[in-house]
Amino acid sequence: MSAVDPAALARRKPRPFRRAVWRGIAVILPPLLTVVIFLWVGNTVSQYVLEPVTAGVRDVIAWQIADVRKLEDLPDSTELAGGVYQIEGERFKRLLNDDLVPEPVYDVVRDHVPTGPMPQTAAELYQSYVESRYLQPFIVIPLFLAVFIVLMYLLGRFLAAGIGRVLWNLFERGILQLPVVRNVYSSVKQVTDFIFTEQEIEYTRVVAVEYPRKGIWSIGLATGDGMIDVKDAAGEDIVSVLIPSSPMPVTGYTITIRKSEVVDLDITIDQAFQFVISCGVVVPPHQMPAPFGGSAELPAEPSGDRNEGAAGSAAVSTARRD
């Protein structure tokens, strides 16, 4: 009888704490990563698109509505209390650089920033006025989304036309000539084309084939019935199969295999992509194999053998008592 290794027993001993921690991480990680990705996309769009566009619109509106007077150009102005001047029946507020702005504009900005420092110049004051009066978030964000959708629609219609397609092909050809940019651009374009472009390939079913050699099974998508010359050479019906790559199934291999060597899988196209993207971690529930070391039911013993075993046990017990 071989000796039992204590170290091996310690390694086999279940660790419920570590198992519970990993199970908790597996549960919380998918929704957490989803929230992080959406927040990253939102912050990126806000920082590099929304904020520059809002600043440009703010400056244009402020330049259009600005009513700034210079104190030295108005010798007939009447000074009131608190740095307020009466000019042609209107009240103007004096700033630190001697610019005069309408008092209602000054009051709106003061109410908008009650605790912060007031702008020191007329340009800064009108920028704050436009932001507080016209560019509130509940106005800017819906308007930005509407304009963005309209622009994408017009761009799509333009690229669908002949001249638009030609210009875009020339642009891409120029991008692909740049040494470093072309690698990044090609990878990003593959992902975006796979997600947003209408797929011309029709996947009929999910299959499993022995590829790249016998004994190694790969998951694939049946795309067609192959070519007639290959069918004649094989001597039977054939199937064209796309073998997607993990973890990014935008690329893969197209093979032609005998129909008799194809195993149809009872899973959907989405489940197949989840399996490939997760590198085999995400398996459809109805395709989950039994866990290793699971208990299996033992076959029932014949009644005669069971009676003989019971009689033998009773005889041994009687002999021990004697």
Give per-residue pLDDT as tens, 3-41: 556 555 555 556 788 888 888 888 898 889 889 989 998
Q: Are 137 and 21 contained in the same domain?
A: yes
3-state secondary structure at position 223: strand
Q: Are 141 and 28 contained in the same domain?
A: yes
Number of H helices, E strands in the chain: 11, 10
Q: Are 39 and 113 contained in the same domain?
A: yes
Is the pTM of the predicted complex or chain greater than 0.85?
Answer: no
Q: For residue 87, what are its two tokens? A: 């000019």
Q: What's the domain range around 245?
A: 205-285
Q: Are 190 and 246 contained in the same domain?
A: no
How far apart (Å, rounded) are the C-alpha atoms in residues 165 and 158? 8
Q: Are 232 and 256 contained in the same domain?
A: yes
Residue at a domain's end among 255, 270, 285: 285
Q: Are 20 and 145 contained in the same domain?
A: yes
How far apart (Å, rounded) are the C-alpha atoms in residues 48 and 144? 13
Number of domains in the chain: 3
Domain assignment present for residue 139? The answer is yes
Q: Are 165 and 226 contained in the same domain?
A: no
Q: Are 178 and 261 contained in the same domain?
A: no
3-state secondary structure at position 79: strand
Q: Are 184 and 269 contained in the same domain?
A: no
Q: Are 25 and 100 contained in the same domain?
A: yes
| Nearest partner of 109 among 95, 122, 97, 126, judged by Cα | 126
pLDDT band at 303 (very low <50, low <70, confident <90, very high): very low
Domain assignment present for residue 20? The answer is yes
The type of residue at 277 is I
Q: Are 210 and 117 contained in the same domain?
A: no
Q: Are 148 and 165 contained in the same domain?
A: no
Which pLDDT score, from 0 to 100, does residue 308 have? 45
